[in-house]
A = this chain, B = another copy of it.
């Protein structure tokens, strides 16, 4: 790879969004509150980053009721998985380049 920095994904350069995606890439589905707990952020802040990822079609949303309470689940899309992989590969190349 010529310049791995060129393959970094703007959307995934943000710590929170990368973390959301890394949770989703390994967990298949994850709900709003668990994500909020794991990341330790306010719900509004989390919602806005999730929305950014959803807008980019990196994840999909399913709203259901669990125990009579609303429960929103997120799932990574194929597009999201590809983008994540590309970004992580670029990171890996950056790391290798400098070690």
Contact = CB atoms under 8 A, between A and B. Distances in A.
Contact of A98 (B13, B14, B15, B26): B26
- Name the interface size band of chain A: 10 to 19
Contacts of A94: 18, 22, 88, 91
Q: Chain A binding site: helix, strand, loop or mixed by DSSP?
A: helix
A62 interface: no
Given A5-B19, A13-B13, A88 B98 contact: yes
Interface string A74-99: 00000000001000100110110111
Interface string A59-80: 0000000000000000000000
A50 B95 CA distance: 21
25 contacts: A5-B15, A5-B18, A5-B19, A8-B15, A13-B13, A13-B14, A13-B15, A18-B94, A22-B94, A22-B97, A22-B98, A25-B98, A26-B97, A26-B98, A84-B98, A88-B94, A88-B95, A88-B98, A88-B99, A91-B91, A91-B94, A91-B95, A92-B92, A92-B95, A95-B95
